[in-house]
A = this chain, B = another copy of it.
Amino acid sequence: MKQFVSVNDVKNVTQLVQDALDSKANPFGEKKIGQNKTLGLLFFNPSLRTRLSTQKAAKNLGMSVMSMDLNTHGWRLEFEDGAIMNSDKAEHIKEGAAVISQYCDIIGVRTFPSLTDQEKDYQETILSQFIKHASVPVISLESATRHPLQSLTDLITIKEHQKTNRPKIVLSWAPHPKALPQAVANSFSEWMIAADMDLTITHPKGYELSPDFIKNTPIEYDQKKAFEGADFIYTKNWSSFNDYGKIIQPKSNWMITAEKMAWTHEAYFMHCLPVRRNVVVADEVLDSEKSLTIKQANNRTYAAQAVLKNILK
């Protein structure tokens, strides 16, 4: 694997899931793979699960880890080619990415979208510039439009819990007080399609995702109809793609409740976390035995471990 920024970087998704399960079965058995190798983690935005699980994965492989929070440890970077840098940006991405490549064998980058400039966000300006100017493999720790380590984690967790060959999976929008990226939903769709899952997406009108990610996945605007027969409910809020970055309707009645889970085929509940309790999902669902959220969080380590070992090999 040369980089890991989307499912398109993965030759064999099934094998990658198996690699992760192998790491999970024997997390400390791969310590030689990362010997004398260094992972750099660069955060333009806050992170808890990704920060800890990716560090843990690297340590399990015997790698060194160096983390930087650009906003508190460093300075603002310039991303425009040809810029006359006489304002507040102290370093160009050309130097930034090339320099960090001198110290790291793999670089992880977290960079959220602006949610104001759709074109720039969907062109993945920052991540692309990083990749272009880095001389080592780059992995996404969540970018403007995708969160592939999360999606791989989700697929691993589904594989561990599915009872049929092709379970019905429903990606359901849910309400949230803040405007959030589409990245998790985009990426989840992309990976479920790649893994040939039976995916349905449900959301209020106006929250359609980009067709580049969901392809011809069926959209069901009636949440109840969507939930019928579902084996997995994957919940996530996102802001509007078409009315870019906006909360067009609060729709608090889309919150996931026990009553709604009863419409399903005894479905598991999934969410990438962090989650707003009693806004996105009711306590009763999150605290039920059907909730896989903490198991998903645990699988983040093995998703990252599988990706890192495939890049190092």
In the complex the two chains form, is B90's CB within 8 Å of A68's CB? Answer: no
Q: Is A120 an interface residue when CB atoms closer than 8 A count as contact? A: no
The CA-CA distance from A110 to B36 in the complex, in Å, is 27
Q: A81 — nearest CB in chain B belongs to which residue?
A: B283
Q: In the bound complex, what is the Cα–Cα distance between A4 and B92 (angstroms)? A: 30
Q: Are B55 and A66 in contact (CB under 8 A)?
A: yes
**Interface secondary structure of A, over-half rule:** mixed
* CB-contacts of A78-102 with B (<8 A): 78, 82-87, 90-92, 94-96, 98-100, 102
A110 to nearest B CB, angstroms? 11
Hey, what's the 0/1 contact readout for A43-81 against B, CB within 8 Å counting as 1?
100111101110110010000101011001111001000
Q: Which residue of chain B has its CB nearest to the CB of A40?
A: B52
Answer whether residue A276 sits at the interface, using C-beta atoms and an 8 A cutoff: yes
Does residue A33 face the partner (Cβ distance < 8 Å to B)? no
Q: Which residue of B lies closest to A275 (CB)?
A: B95
Known interface pairs A28-B36, A46-B74, A103-B301; A278-B52 also in contact (CB < 8 Å): no
Q: A51-B68, A92-B275 are in contact. List 7 more A-B contacts (CB 8 A).
A: A48-B100, A52-B66, A55-B66, A56-B66, A85-B277, A95-B293, A98-B294
Q: Which residues of A contact B (CB under 8 A)?
A: 27-28, 36, 38, 40, 43, 46-49, 51-53, 55-56, 59, 64, 66, 68-69, 72-75, 78, 82-87, 90-92, 94-96, 98-100, 102-104, 177, 273-279, 283, 286-287, 293-294, 297-298, 300-301
Q: What would 18 A/B residue contacts be, using CB atoms closer than 8 Å?
A: A27-B36, A38-B56, A38-B59, A48-B74, A48-B96, A49-B99, A52-B66, A53-B102, A56-B66, A59-B64, A78-B277, A83-B277, A84-B278, A86-B177, A87-B177, A92-B277, A95-B274, A95-B286
